[in-house]
Amino acid sequence: MSVIWPIFSDFILLRILVNIRKIGNSHKGGTMVIRLIIFGGLLVLFVLWESFFPRRQQGTLLKNRICNLSLSLINSLIVFILPINIAVLAMNAGNRGFLYSLSLPFPVHLILSLLLLDMVIYFQHLMFHSVPLLWQLHKVHHADRTLNATSAVRFHPVEIFISLGIKVSAVLLIGVPASGVILFEIILNGCSLFNHSCIQIPLGADRVLRFFLVTPDMHRIHHSVRLRETNRNFGFCLTWWDFIFGTYRQNPVQDQKSFLLGLSGYTNGEDRSILKSLLMPFDGKAKSYSIKGMGKQGA
């Protein structure tokens, strides 16, 4: 059995990769449906998990979840309407890009594509915290004071548009295959739902997972109201980039169950209003939270 299982698991992986390659050649609507089905299933899973086994006391989340999902719906409609499909662009680009120049076996090419894209997302996230104008967009995500699974999709439409442009550029420069684009989006969405969830995980499991995966306890620190905690733990999937580039923080100053989340300038329920969330980038609040504000607030 110990010999058969690795062969069987390799066969399953091979079939998955082959099917993903086929999906990469399908039309925009088809890939969108597949991603929505997977996203919806994971969202339900984590909402139920955090409802029955919460890490923190959160109170009523109905208005918060409605606001977050409404933002997600607006963003999804914008992306769907735009005449841009990253997977199709990758397919039409042919064998262009850095990784194609190396003539690697497809599985190696795919794995390196996923790793490099995850690193790009890390630096993109760091950039949105570093550039004051971009921070004004990204703070919509951080204004959420009750971090939960739906917080993973809470982004301003303009930030989504900019992120799309960065992903397109990265895919074309790196040479990511269409199947890699689709697989990465599925993994990114799944990891984001996971690490934004308010779910209870055994501390021992959390310690082990942190060697490679961003956990809810790790990412929750990034959503702390404290400036020096907000500007740590930028990874979305892999923890390695935070380790390598010195932005990792293991624990918050206060206990995981009690430290405050969100931004100090938003305490009157702005995070639960779709209109106020859309107008947040223009209200001039929470400017000091960008990385340029480091040093103005204690650890």
pLDDT tens-digit map of 94-114: 688 999 999 999 999 999 999
Give the model's confidence band at 23: pLDDT under 50 very low, under 70 low, under 90 confident, else very high. very low
Q: Residue 236 has which token pair?
A: 């979305």
Looking at residue 80, what is its pLDDT?
77
Select, from the ranges 31-45, 78-92, 244-258, 281-295, the one with the highest average predicted confidence (pLDDT). 244-258
pTM for the structure as a whole: 0.85
User: How many domains are there within the chain?
Assistant: 1
Domain contains 299:
no
For tokens 């003539």, name the residue. Answer: 103
Residue 35 near residue 182, CB atoms below 8 Å:
yes
Domain contains 298:
no
Give the model's confidence band at 87: pLDDT under 50 very low, under 70 low, under 90 confident, else very high. low
CA–CA gap between residue 151 and residue 135 (Å, rounded): 17
**DSSP string of 161-213, one letter each residue:** HHHHHHHHHHHHHHT--HHHHHHHHHHHHHHHHHHHS-B---HHHHHHHTTTB
Q: Residue 63 has which token pair?
A: 């208005």
Looking at residue 144, what is its pLDDT?
95
User: Is pLDDT above 70 for 115?
Assistant: yes
Helix spans in 83-177 (H) = 86-92, 106-130, 132-142, 157-174
Looking at residue 101, what is its pLDDT?
93
Mean pLDDT of the chain: 86
pLDDT tens-digit map of 38-76: 999 999 999 999 999 999 998 889 999 999 999 999 998
Looking at residue 36, what is its pLDDT?
82
Domain contains 97:
yes
* Domain limits for position 55: 4-293
pLDDT mean over 80-84: 69
Looking at residue 90, what is its pLDDT?
64
Looking at residue 30, what is its pLDDT?
60
Give the model's confidence band at 291: pLDDT under 50 very low, under 70 low, under 90 confident, else very high. confident
Q: Calculate the CA 191 to chain-centre distance.
A: 6
CA–CA gap between residue 26 and residue 29 (Å, rounded): 8
- Higher pLDDT: 9 or 27? It is 27
pLDDT tens-digit map of 152-163: 999 999 999 999
CA–CA gap between residue 59 and residue 254 (Å, rounded): 20
Domain contains 134:
yes
